[in-house]
């Protein structure tokens, strides 16, 4: 009797010990996983830092005022990014002017107006799918549609429109999220005072969600500014040693739109052109252009994060 008692006690002890051992092992696995996770995380972030320092180090000899004020040249040391940054600015101007109204309007429609039916579902599925279409396909679309069918040619307008279509899903998705975050009672209060649907939308919903909309737009633009493939596809020239026509003129009416149909180059194309040259002197230019491009994208993303943070903090529904 006492024999069996002690043996069962021993067995219990054994079970407890095995359980403890197993628990200890699993706790160890936990700690091991934390180390693995942190290592991979920091390795990825370190890659970003490495990438940036690499570009800055390689491109250091070119940083200076001249790099911004010179046209590309056969001589690597005198080549600059004047036509590239002017081109990028003008293309981005077209992109904003097209993507912002269409994107916000589509988001407003889907969130505030659209009835729940198959027709709305088709629009929604299209927006989701467009976000997954490779950017070079947009380039082919632009080549076939804008350049040849609509005869816009290899111009700033074609490039701006292409990039606008490319970032449209980003702007729509971000704007929808921002609009959805506006509480229902704000809308109901406005309706109760006799506002029409458009008045509720334009006076209340859109202004209150402007922070989120702005964030989405900046993220979209930071994507557009670095896009290379679709612009190459529409046939942007890489060697442009002149500027587009100035948008501001000295004669009445002081603005001109001929720049829209001018040939152009943009920063990423200029960088691609330099990087694919066998002469290593041009690699320095490529690194310098890349560092500036990367700094611009990181800056835009930083602004987006800041705007999102500010608006989130300011609003207390």
Footprint (CB under 8 A) of another protein, residues 34-53: 34, 36-38, 40-41, 44-45, 47-48, 50-51
Task: Give the contact letters, 57-76, x = binds to another protein (CB under 8 A), - = no.
Answer: -x------------------
As to burial, measured by CB atoms within 10 angstroms (0-12 exposed, 13-18 middle, 19+ buried), residue 42 is exposed
Is 20 an interacting residue with respect to another protein (CB under 8 A)?
Answer: no
Q: Which of residues 90-149 bind another protein (CB under 8 A)?
A: 101-103, 105-106, 108-110, 113-114, 122-123, 126-127, 129-130, 132-141, 143-145, 148
**Which region among 1-9, 30-38, 71-79, 185-193 touches another protein (by CB under 8 A)?**
30-38
Smallest gap from Cβ 82 to another protein, in A, equals 19
Structure tokens at 203: 């006076």
Is 245 an interacting residue with respect to another protein (CB under 8 A)?
Answer: no
Closest to another protein by CB, 14 or 28: 28
For 309, the 3-state DSSP assignment is helix
Closest to another protein by CB, 154 or 259: 154
Smallest gap from Cβ 257 to another protein, in A, equals 22
Is 293 an interacting residue with respect to another protein (CB under 8 A)?
Answer: yes
Closest to another protein by CB, 7 or 29: 29
Is 29 an interacting residue with respect to another protein (CB under 8 A)?
Answer: yes
Number of residues that bind another protein (CB under 8 A): 87
Give, in order, the Cα–Cα distances in Å from 302 to each of 96, 98, 182, 309. 19, 23, 24, 11
Give, in order, the Cα–Cα distances in Å from 14 to each of 9, 17, 21, 24. 9, 5, 10, 15
Q: How far is 271 from 225, CA to CA, in rounded Å? A: 13
Is 223 an interacting residue with respect to another protein (CB under 8 A)?
Answer: yes
Scanning the structure block, which residue is given the tokens 């252009």? 289
Sign of CA dihedral 278, 280, 285, 288: positive
Nearest to 103 by CA among 187, 257, 223: 223
Q: How far is 197 from 201, CA to CA, in rounded Å? A: 6
Sign of CA dihedral 300, 303, 309, 314: negative
Selected from 88, 158, 233, 285, the binder of another protein by CB under 8 A is 233
DSSP 83-106: HHHHHHHHHHHHHHHHHHHHHHHH
Q: Which of residues 266-285 bind another protein (CB under 8 A)?
A: 268, 271-272, 275-276, 283
Selected from 76, 79, 82, 168, the binder of another protein by CB under 8 A is 168
Selected from 97, 121, 305, 315, the binder of another protein by CB under 8 A is 305
Structure tokens at 18: 């095995």
**Which region among 7-15, 82-90, 191-199, 255-263 touches another protein (by CB under 8 A)?**
191-199
Closest to another protein by CB, 7 or 46: 46
């Amino acid at each position: 009797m006492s024999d069996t008692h002690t043996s069962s006690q021993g067995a219990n002890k054994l079970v407890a010990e095995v359980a403890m051992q197993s628990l200890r092992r699993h706790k160890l696995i936990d700690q091991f996983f934390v180390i693995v996770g942190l290592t991979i995380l920091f390795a990825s972030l370190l890659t970003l830092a490495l990438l940036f320092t690499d570009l800055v180090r390689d491109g250091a000899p070119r940083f200076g005022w001249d790099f911004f004020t010179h046209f590309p040249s056969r001589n690597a040391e005198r080549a600059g990014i004047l036509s590239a940054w002017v081109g990028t600015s003008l293309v981005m101007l077209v992109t904003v002017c097209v993507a912002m109204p269409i994107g916000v309007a589509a988001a407003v429609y889907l969130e505030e107006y659209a009835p729940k039916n198959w027709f709305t579902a088709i629009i929604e599925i299209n927006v989701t799918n467009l976000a997954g279409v490779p950017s070079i396909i947009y380039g082919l679309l632009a080549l076939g549609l804008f350049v040849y069918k609509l005869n816009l040619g290899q111009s700033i307008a074609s490039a701006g429109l292409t990039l606008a279509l490319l970032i449209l899903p980003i702007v729509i998705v971000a704007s929808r999220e921002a609009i959805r975050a506006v509480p229902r009672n704000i809308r109901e209060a406005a309706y109760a005072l006799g506002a029409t649907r458009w008045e509720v939308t334009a006076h209340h919903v859109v202004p209150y969600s402007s922070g989120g909309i702005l964030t989405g737009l900046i993220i979209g633009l930071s994507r557009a500014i670095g896009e290379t493939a679709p612009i190459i596809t529409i046939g942007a020239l890489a060697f442009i040693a002149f500027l587009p026509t100035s948008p501001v003129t000295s004669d009445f009416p002081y603005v001109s739109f001929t720049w829209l149909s001018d040939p152009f180059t943009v920063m990423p194309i200029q960088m691609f052109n330099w990087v694919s040259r066998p002469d290593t002197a041009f690699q320095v230019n490529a690194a310098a252009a890349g560092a500036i491009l990367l700094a611009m994208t990181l800056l835009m993303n930083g602004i987006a994060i800041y705007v999102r943070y500010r608006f989130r903090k300011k609003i207390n529904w």
